[in-house]
Amino acid sequence: MARRALTAALAGALLGAAAARAAYAAFTRRPPVGDAETWSRTNHRGEPITLLEGPAFVAGAGVAAAAVPGLPARVRAAALLAAAGAGGLGAYDDLYGVTASKGFRGHLGALAKGEVTSGAVKIAGIGLTGLAAAALTVPALTAHRPADAVIDGMLVAGAANLANLFDLRPGRAIKVGLLAGAPLLAAGLRRGDPVAAALAALPLGASAALLPEDLGERAMLGDAGANALGALLGLAAAVTLGRPGRLAALGTVAALTAASEKVSFTKVIVGNPVLNRIDMLGRRPPEQAPAG
């Protein structure tokens, strides 16, 4: 089983990486919607950057989920739903969203006034797709009961939202994803579980392959990529962890999400020498001009 788990992990990571790179190259030549200007935004430096990294991640992770060997049909469908659902709703917010309302409080406040924001649509949609993806996995996992679908669905949706909160500086969301996903991958390998190992590996491979574009400040995940990355890691946690571990993970996600309404993650990271060093790893200094 250990060899099967390692093979599944390698297949998931390599397929995700290769497909994400191929998708990024294809989308930069011909975007999936509109033209290059449609996906162009201004980053924290005031420089132009493309959001096409997000659809490339969704495509790469989706191809890996569809093609990696050894996944039960329902788990494979859950991974595809999590990636496509969170990624598609994130892309909708990327392209058509407005920034007047931010965070759960902002979107719920707007909803209370009768205004349905793109963010509110995304939150509701990701919640529903998260529950649906979680429900698909429960019959395939003998240790889970139908009630676990609620916990797992909240974990998938919550992780999708949380990952997006870190996509504010080059490479940050991917680094957080890699740090969160590595223990899940290790747990799957240690247990000799090819399903858990593959589910953790495929978003890690796809995101790592796009990290140079992100760190180079040529592209960013945007809502599409960050939401999909978080959703897939949440699904991997749902499949890998026992109920106490999933409840702990859900509590951490909820606490960080609540903290984001009061505290700036960027200020916390900059103010901590260790976190700031990790955050700046591979990035150009604030005052440095782009290469070329």
Closest by alpha carbon to 129, among 147, 111, 153, 155? 153
Sign for the pseudo-dihedral over CA of 19, 22, 28, 31: negative
pLDDT score, position 284: 84
pLDDT score, position 225: 97
User: Looking at the domain assignment, is residue 258 inside a domain?
Assistant: yes
Beta bridge partners of 48: 42
Do 200 and 75 meet the contact criterion of CB atoms below 8 Å apart?
no
User: Looking at the domain assignment, is residue 196 inside a domain?
Assistant: yes
User: Looking at the domain assignment, is residue 283 inside a domain?
Assistant: no
Domain count, the chain: 1
User: Looking at the domain assignment, is residue 94 inside a domain?
Assistant: yes
| pTM for the full predicted model | 0.91
User: Looking at the domain assignment, is residue 223 inside a domain?
Assistant: yes
Instruction: Name 160's Cβ contacts closer than 8 Å, sequence gap at least 6.
Output: 82, 86, 126, 130, 227, 228, 230, 231, 234
Give me the DSSP letters along 31-84: -SSS-GGGGEEE-TTS-EEESTHHHHHHHHHHHHHHHSTT--HHHHHHHHHHHH
Helices 2-29/53-67 angle, 10° precision: 140
User: Looking at the domain assignment, is residue 236 inside a domain?
Assistant: yes
Q: 58 — alpha (psi -120 to 50), left (phi > 0) or beta?
A: alpha
Range of the domain at 213: 2-263
Residue type, 134: A
All residue ranges of the chain with pLDDT < 70 are 98-116, 118, 140-144, 287-292
Do 135 and 235 meet the contact criterion of CB atoms below 8 Å apart?
no
Residue type, 53: E
pLDDT score, position 97: 74
Name the 3-class secondary structure at 170.
coil
pLDDT score, position 291: 54
